[in-house]
Structure 1
């Protein structure tokens, strides 16, 4: 999802990074808020995403953004505006899909290059659905009682869903910007919340 502005853009990303034959596929999530990004987390998927369709979803409200794969949360980004951390809530966003050539960094840090002899490359979608607020939205979205995603039950993960999230973090997370001391000598404030 991406806002239409460039300098102060908001963006919520699922990025499939490819793999080396026989190795797990990685999916990276990233959050941009008010033009500030570099909040990547990466997990190895526990299945082959090319073998069958799977459900990838984002639940975004004024309290948190949760990225799901087959209803299993793989990423939670909480609203930490009280700590001075930007949160995407002031701009409308559209849904976009692209195939992006990033073999200088994406697969094993750029070690695996794209095999162009396999082109053309395709992505397939089915059962696409979106629920959200119409533009201008954000200021009136939170107060509309028909917007189920703003309800109290979606302000944090319930115990069962939180357990699934911990399973992903313990068994499948391979990169978290919050623990990358090379990039961030001082831990970002949202990471200590």
Structure 2
């Protein structure tokens, strides 16, 4: 006995609903799904919750945090960075758990004096340990328009994307005894703050407060990710199911064309890689460095 068209349609809609539920807050916005964790008085949300303005002035910076925690998925944000003389400022966009043994995945945008490029600083922490920095210039003016910055995180790898181009991969090498962030849910954070003690030329260039207030604009917050509800979520969010699209084999590694795109970015715009900083580690390099393709 065949399945009628009505039943097929109902099954299809139910499947779509299940996928949407497990993907997380696909239709998220800043009003509904984030809170200001500091600096709320000078910052604002507008555009039916789709647009966020973070402000840094001589008194304080500002920041938001997602109400929910996530484990695996894809977190997208459109960001238009502070224009003009942004030296000493940092616009941060990252995921993090809490506590001294926290996990964290970072995008940080280090400001510069007018006419000089921003530096995009990336890092990953596992169980409280970072020291895995990679830095890049960008191939466009990140202050002139919005660009898409995406953190894609699954049981196999973390990929940092800019406008769909992968710039970095951190692969799960737990089989080699290398820690990987897969045991703790993380919130999504974004902030604009005073980091002139280190951000621009190691702290040599300070913030020009005469140019304040500094404003970073964000939009289209899209966490298509698995909702964390405690340790029981580890198995649920990592399972190979239709709903957990991020565990599909297609997302377990970059495609050949994506590898080529990443190589182009890294060959032309990478300015620091911890895996080549032999002096810093006294030639005792982190073990994952021997496995890196780039």
Residue in structure 2 matched with residue 153 of structure 1 by the alignment: 250
Normalized per residue, the structure richer in strand is 2
Residue in structure 2 matched with residue 138 of structure 1 by the alignment: 234
Shift of 1:104: 2.1
Give the Cα separation in 2 of the matches to 1:13 and 1:52: 21
Shift of 1:111: 2.4
Contact kept, 8 Å, 1:27 with 1:45, in 2: the verdict is: yes
2:125 to 15, 25, 32: 32
2:268 to 156, 171, 178: 171
The answer to which structure, 1 or 2, has the higher relative contact order (CA under 8 A, 6+ apart) is 2
Shift of 1:146: 1.3
Cα deviation 1:61-117 (Å, max 9, x = unaligned):
000000000001111001111122111110110101111322222222222221111
Change in CA separation of 1:180 and 1:83 when aligned onto 2, cut-off 3 Å:
same
Q: Which runs of 4+ in 1 moved over 4 A?
A: none
Residue in structure 2 matched with residue 49 of structure 1 by the alignment: 142
Residue in structure 2 matched with residue 2 of structure 1 by the alignment: 96
The DSSP-based 3-state class of the residue aligned with 1:49 is coil
Give the Cα separation in 1 of the matches to 2:209 and 2:287: 41
2:285 to 160, 167, 187: 187
Give the Cα separation in 1 of the matches to 2:205 and 2:180: 34
Contact kept, 8 Å, 1:24 with 1:47, in 2: the verdict is: no
Question: Considering only CA atoms, is the larger Rg found in Structure 1 or Structure 2?
Answer: 2
Cα deviation 1:103-161 (Å, max 9, x = unaligned):
22222222222111111222211111111111233221121321211110111100111
Which stretch of the first structure deviates more once superposed, 143-152 or 28-37?
143-152
- Calculate the TM-score normalised by the size of structure 1: 0.95
* 1:97 aligns to 2:190 (yes or no): yes
Aligned residues: 192
Residue in structure 1 matched with residue 165 of structure 2 by the alignment: 72
Give the Cα separation in 1 of the matches to 2:144 and 2:171: 32
RMSD after superposition:
1.2
